[in-house]
A and B are shown apart, each in its own frame.
Chain A
Amino acid sequence: MFCVTKFRMLGAALAIAVVGASGPALAQDKETVLKDRQATMKEQGKNTGAVKAYLDGKGDLAQAKTAAADLTQTTKKIPELFPPGTDGPNPTGDYVAKAVIWTDWNKFLDAQKAAAAKADALLVAVSSGDKTAIEAAFNDLGKNGCGGCHTTFREKIEK
C-alpha cells in the first residue's frame, strides 16, 4: 500500500518534470515533425512519379507496384505527421499546414482516410496490370486524394 503511494508520487513527480521540460522540447519536436512530414510527402511524390512513369511507358510495372504499395502505407500514417501545434511558420518549406486541420480534425481524418482508400485502390489496379484501371485509379488518387487535401489543408508561404 505504502509502496503504491510512493510509486504514484514518483509518477506525479515524473509527470511534472515532463510537463516542465515540454516548452523547449516542443520546439525541437516541431522541427522534427516538419522534417518527417516533408520527407514523407516527398517520398509520396516520388512514388506517384514511379506510377506515372509506368503509365507514360517510361518505367516498369514492378517499380510501379512497389511504389503503390508504399503509398498505401504512407497515406495511412498521415495523421501522426500532424500532431497539434505544428501549423504556422515553416522555415525550411514552401507550404504550411492550415490551422483548420486541428480545428476540424474529423474533416481532416475523413480526407486522409479517403486518400488512403484511393491508394489501396491504386495498388489493386497496379497489381492487375490493367493500364486503363491504373490510370483511372492514379488520376483519382492524385486529383482527389493528394490534391483534395492540398486544396483544403495546405497553403503557400508568401516569401
Chain B
Amino acid sequence: MTAGLDGIVRQILSAAVVALLPALSLSAAADEASRGGYLANAAGCEDCHTDRDHGGQPYAGGRALATPFGTFYSPNITPNPETGIGRWSDEQFLRALRDGVRPDGANYFPVFPYPSFTKITDADARAIKAYLFSLPATRQANRAHDISFPISWRFLQNGWKLLFFSPGPFRPAPGRSEAYNRGAYLVTALAHCGECHTPRNWFGAMEPDRFLAGNPDGPDGKSVPNITPDPETGIGNWSGEDIATLLKTGQTPEFDFVGGAMGEVVRNTSRLDDADRRAIAVYLKSLPPIHSQKKGR
C-alpha cells in the first residue's frame, strides 16, 4: 500500500518535472539571449553590422567600412537562413569569432576584429549567438567587398594569420584585482578598443608594443587618440572617474562631448553597468604610458 502510494507520488512528480522542463529551458534560453544582448552591445556588433546612414535594418549588414586596403561591406548577421547566419551551428559561430574562419572554411579579413574576439569566452560567444538568433531575420543579401588583388585573395590571409594572429581565450592575470581583469577582458576582447586606438603596421596588423597608443590612420582616415596614461600625449591627466564619465555620457574633462566614431561607441558604453565602466577605467589607468608623436586629440 505504502509502496503503491509512493509510486503514484513519484509518477505525479516526474510528470510535473517533464511538464516543467520545456518552460525551464525556455526561460534559461531567454536569460542567455538577454545576457548575450548585453555582451553584443559591449562588443558594438550593431554599429558595423547596420547601414544606419541608409536606413538599414539592425544587424542586416551593408555598412561601408573604408580602410587603407579598400572598402569592406559588413555582412548580415540576423538569423535569416538564406542571407544571414540562420543556418550556423554554435561551433561555426565560435570558429568565426575565435579563428576568423567562415563556415565554408575561407578566412575573414581582419576588418572583422577576430584578433580581439578570439579572446571572448565560449560561454559569452554562445550567449551572443543566442541573442542574435532572437532578432528578426532580415532578408538582405551581402554586398561584395570593394578591394583589389592581391588583398582580395582570401587564402593569402593564412600567411597574415601566421605572422600576426595569436588565437586563444582571455586569461585573467593572477594577482590582479577582479576589476582589472574584467576591464582587461572588456577592453581587449569584447569592446575591442585596440582595433581603433592601436596603430597598425604595413600589413594592417596592430602593433603590440604600441597597444592603445593612438592611431594616426584610423577608420575613415581619421586619427584616433592615445588612451594610455601618458600625461602629455595620452590621457594621463584623466582620473578614473573622468574615463567612466566619458564612457557614460561622452563628456570629456574639458566639457566637450565626443562625436565621430567614439560618439557611436558611447551609445554602447552608456548602456554598460557602472561597475563595467569603472573596470575599464581601472584597466586603462594601469597600462604603461606610451608617448606618441603628437597629441592624439
B259 within 8 A of A: yes
In angstroms, Cα B258 to Cα A138, docked, is: 15
Contact of A154 among B251, B254, B260, B294 (CB under 8 A): B260
State whether B222 touches A150 (Cβ < 8 A).
Answer: no
In the complex, chain B residues whose CB is within 8 Å of the CB of A45: 254-256
Using C-beta atoms within 8 Å of the partner chain, give the interface range for chain B.
Answer: 20 to 34
Which residues A109-159 have CB closer than 8 A to chain B?
138-139, 142-143, 146-156, 158-159
Which residues B117-147 have CB closer than 8 A to chain A?
none
State whether B222 touches A156 (Cβ < 8 A).
Answer: yes
In angstroms, Cα B254 to Cα A146, docked, is: 14
Contact of B249 among A46, A142, A159 (CB under 8 A): A142
Residue in B closest to A46 when the chains form the complex, CB atoms: B255
State whether A139 touches B222 (Cβ < 8 A).
Answer: no
In angstroms, Cα B254 to Cα A46, docked, is: 9
State whether A143 touches B250 (Cβ < 8 A).
Answer: yes
State whether A143 touches B270 (Cβ < 8 A).
Answer: yes
Contact with B along A31-62 (1 / 0, CB 8 A): 00000000000000110110010000000000
Contact of A155 among B260, B270, B294 (CB under 8 A): B260
In the complex, chain B residues whose CB is within 8 Å of the CB of A146: 250, 257
CB distance from A96 to the nearest CB of B (A): 12
Contact of A143 among B223, B249, B260, B297 (CB under 8 A): B249
State whether B267 touches A149 (Cβ < 8 A).
Answer: no
In the complex, chain B residues whose CB is within 8 Å of the CB of A143: 248-250, 257, 266-267, 270
Interface centre among B223, B251, B270 (most CB of A within 10 A): B251
Interface centre among A148, A151, A155, A159 (most CB of B within 10 A): A151
State whether B221 touches A158 (Cβ < 8 A).
Answer: yes
Contact of A151 among B221, B254, B260, B294 (CB under 8 A): B260
State whether B222 touches A155 (Cβ < 8 A).
Answer: yes
Residue in A closest to B217 when the chains form the complex, CB atoms: A158
Residue in B closest to A148 when the chains form the complex, CB atoms: B263
State whether B260 touches A142 (Cβ < 8 A).
Answer: no
CB distance from A156 to the nearest CB of B (A): 6
Residue in B closest to A146 when the chains form the complex, CB atoms: B257
Looking at chain A's contact residues, the main secondary structure is helix
Given A138-B249, A139-B249, A142-B250, check contact A147 B259 (CB 8 Å): yes
State whether A150 touches B257 (Cβ < 8 A).
Answer: yes
Residue in B closest to A149 when the chains form the complex, CB atoms: B259
Contact with A along B236-273 (1 / 0, CB 8 A): 00000000010011110011111110011011001000
Using C-beta atoms within 8 Å of the partner chain, give the interface range for chain A.
Answer: 20 to 34
State whether B257 touches A142 (Cβ < 8 A).
Answer: yes
Which residues B136-163 have CB closer than 8 A to chain A?
none
CB distance from B278 to the nearest CB of A (A): 15
Interface centre among A143, A153, A158 (most CB of B within 10 A): A143
In angstroms, Cα B260 to Cα A154, docked, is: 7
In the complex, chain B residues whose CB is within 8 Å of the CB of A148: 263
In the complex, chain B residues whose CB is within 8 Å of the CB of A152: 259, 263
Residue in A closest to B254 when the chains form the complex, CB atoms: A45
In the complex, chain A residues whose CB is within 8 Å of the CB of B222: 155-156, 158
Interface centre among B245, B257, B267, B297 (most CB of A within 10 A): B257
In angstroms, Cα B220 to Cα A156, docked, is: 11
In angstroms, Cα B146 to Cα A107, docked, is: 29
In the complex, chain B residues whose CB is within 8 Å of the CB of A158: 221-223
State whether B251 touches A48 (Cβ < 8 A).
Answer: yes
State whether A147 touches B248 (Cβ < 8 A).
Answer: no
CB distance from A125 to the nearest CB of B (A): 15
In angstroms, Cα B256 to Cα A154, docked, is: 12
In angstroms, Cα B249 to Cα A45, docked, is: 13
In angstroms, Cα B257 to Cα A49, docked, is: 11
CB-defined A-B contacts under 8 Å, sample of 12: A52-B251, A139-B248, A143-B249, A143-B250, A147-B249, A147-B250, A147-B258, A150-B259, A150-B263, A152-B259, A152-B263, A156-B260
**Given contact pairs A48-B257, A147-B249, A159-B294, a sample of 10 additional A-B residue pairs in the complex whose CB atoms are under 8 Å apart:** A52-B251, A138-B249, A142-B250, A143-B248, A143-B270, A149-B259, A150-B250, A154-B259, A156-B222, A156-B223
